[in-house]
């Protein structure tokens, strides 16, 4: 195994500090490491559930590395990949040999017989950050004995390269954290005066505003489990699935709340849907993409309390469905209040007048019930 010369170490450090400034520049660096060690150098970032983020080296590279680590074992059916992800120590060095991973307690001490040669062995270390991301770095050797793989020279050289990557990974992580905080502040400042939640592609909750998570839970729209938003509403699930680069469900299908249909009047629109809370108040849940990093798309969920149905809906009811001015105003008012008595009080009309208007509206719109009329108004509110 070659030792890492000082000039080669400085060259790698220069590459790390001067060229590795984004999430896509690591493959040339790893190619250079592979040439220096006559091996295959791998580095990939994973979430705590084993999902490869695809940053730094791309999804294909990360999946190939994961496949190799998953083919090796720790003990009792635990794969080397799972062990590194959940139990490994960031400052330790690990060796994979003959399909088994072990912690290297002291440089130069072999794991098995020094004369034994396997088809492929590896030396590995990990780095974790506060966001739950794990970077696994490893050198894979063909036809190398454990003595060669775990020699003092190899471990020392490997540790130097790992330290360079750890420094770079930490710097980029800190930059990402600052960018993420900036995106959150911009999103809330530009869009939010209401309960809101921001989630990423894996539906991990990035931030909330004005008790947004509690409001979503009260509406039986979604609950947080393990830091992720578990969707309990079919309309929201459909809207998220239809969005470009939509946050994908980690588990399918999601449950819909058992009493969702019984307690809510809801209707899908282009940007959201309306439903009623336990007190009967109308709420509108909207979603929109948060501008920023396209590699990690975010979605902003907002809850408007109470929901305001645009006055332009009345114009559509008049021009497209032939309702009179008073009929269109009554239909919109009924959708906002949710009850006949509240609507008659709001408009200062009698129940008989209300019933007369409703019969005319039913004839012109082909709806048959008050609920269908309210749902029609909800749908139209998504067109204005």
| Same domain flag for 170 and 143 | yes
Whole domain around residue 57: which residue ranges? 6-175
∠ Cα 214 218 222 (to 5°): 75
DSSP-derived pairing of the beta strands 196-199 and 205-209: antiparallel
| Same domain flag for 26 and 156 | yes
> Does residue 136 surpass a pLDDT of 90?
yes
- Mean predicted confidence (pLDDT) in 265-280: 60
**Of the candidates 304, 337, 359, which is a domain's last residue?**
304
| Same domain flag for 257 and 110 | no
pLDDT digits (tens, 9 = 90+) for 287-308: 888 766 666 788 888 887 666 6
Q: Which residues are within 8 A (CB) of 239 and not within 5 positions of it... i.e. 6 or more apart?
A: 268, 271, 272, 273, 287
| Same domain flag for 357 and 285 | no
- pLDDT score for 146: 59
According to DSSP, the residues that pair with 321 across neighbouring strands are: none
| Same domain flag for 247 and 341 | no
Distance CA 309, CA 267 (A): 13
| Same domain flag for 76 and 148 | yes
Residue 112 neighbours by CB distance under 10 Å: 15
| Same domain flag for 132 and 27 | yes
Query: If pLDDT is split at 50, 70 and 90, which confidence band does 4 have?
Result: low
Distance CA 165, CA 125 (A): 11
- Mean predicted confidence (pLDDT) in 334-353: 86
- Mean predicted confidence (pLDDT) in 85-106: 85
Instruction: Judge if the upstream peptide bond of residue 42 is cis by omega within 30 degrees of 0.
Output: no
> Does residue 267 surpass a pLDDT of 50?
no
3-class DSSP assignment, residue 44: strand
| Same domain flag for 151 and 283 | no
- pLDDT score for 270: 39
3-class DSSP assignment, residue 96: strand
| Same domain flag for 114 and 46 | yes
CATH number for the domain spanning 340: value is 1.10.10
Token digits of residue 183:
């995106």
Helix, strand, coil share (%) of the chain residues, nearest 5:
45, 20, 35
pLDDT digits (tens, 9 = 90+) for 162-216: 888 888 888 777 777 777 777 777 666 566 667 889 898 889 998 888 888 999 9
**Of the candidates 304, 334, 363, which is a domain's last residue?**
304
pLDDT digits (tens, 9 = 90+) for 137-169: 999 988 666 566 667 887 888 888 888 888 888
Which phi and psi angles does 2 have, rounded to 5°? Answer: -70, 145
The full DSSP string for 139-207 is EEEES--HHHHT-HHHHHHHHHHHHHHHHHHHHHHHHHHHHHHHHHHHHHHHH-SS-EEEE-TT-BEEE
CATH number for the domain spanning 224: value is 3.30.450
- Give the total number of structural domains in the chain: 3
Query: If pLDDT is split at 50, 70 and 90, which confidence band does 118 have?
Result: very low
- pLDDT score for 98: 82
- pLDDT score for 150: 67
Q: Is 44 left (phi over 0), alpha (psi -120 to 50) or beta?
A: beta
Distance CA 247, CA 240 (A): 6
- pLDDT score for 314: 93
């Amino acid at each position: 195994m070659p030792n890492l010369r000082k000039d080669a170490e400085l060259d790698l450090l220069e590459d790390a500090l001067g060229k590795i400034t984004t999430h896509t520049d690591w493959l040339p660096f790893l190619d250079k490491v592979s040439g220096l060690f006559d091996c295959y150098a791998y580095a990939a970032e994973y979430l705590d559930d084993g999902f490869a983020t695809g940053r730094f080296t791309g999804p294909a590279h990360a999946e190939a590395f994961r496949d190799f680590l998953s083919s090796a074992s720790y003990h009792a059916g635990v794969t080397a990949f799972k062990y590194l992800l959940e139990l490994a120590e960031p400052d330790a060095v690990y060796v994979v040999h003959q399909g088994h991973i072990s912690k290297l307690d002291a440089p130069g001490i072999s794991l098995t017989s020094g004369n034994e040669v396997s088809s492929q062995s590896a030396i590995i270390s990990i780095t974790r950050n506060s966001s739950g991301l794990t970077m696994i770095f490893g050198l894979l050797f063909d036809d190398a004995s454990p003595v060669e793989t775990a020699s003092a020279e190899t471990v020392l050289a490997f540790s130097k390269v790992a330290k360079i990557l750890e420094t770079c990974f930490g710097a980029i992580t800190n930059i990402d954290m600052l960018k993420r905080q900036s995106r959150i502040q911009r999103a809330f400042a530009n869009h939010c005066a209401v309960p809101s939640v921001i989630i990423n592609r894996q539906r991990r909750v990035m931030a909330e505003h004005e008790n947004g998570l509690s409001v979503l839970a009260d509406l039986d729209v979604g609950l947080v489990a393990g830091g992720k938003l578990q969707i309990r509403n079919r309309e929201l699930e459909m809207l998220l699935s239809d969005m470009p680069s939509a946050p994908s469900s980690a588990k399918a299908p999601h449950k819909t709340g058992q009493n969702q249909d019984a307690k809510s009047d809801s209707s899908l629109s282009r940007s959201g849907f309306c439903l009623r809370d336990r007190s009967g108040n109308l709420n509108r849940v909207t979603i929109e993409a948060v501008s920023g990093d396209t590699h990690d798309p975010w979605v902003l969920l907002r809850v408007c309390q109470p929901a305001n149905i645009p006055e332009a809906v009345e114009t559509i009811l008049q021009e497209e469905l032939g309702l009179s001015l008073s009929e269109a105003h009554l239909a919109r008012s009924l959708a906002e209040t949710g009850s006949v008595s509240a609507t008659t009080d709001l408009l200062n009309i009698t129940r008989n007048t209300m019933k007369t208007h409703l019969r005319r509206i039913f004839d012109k719109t082909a709806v048959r019930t008050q609920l269908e009329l309210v749902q029609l108004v909800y749908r139209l509110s998504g067109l204005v």
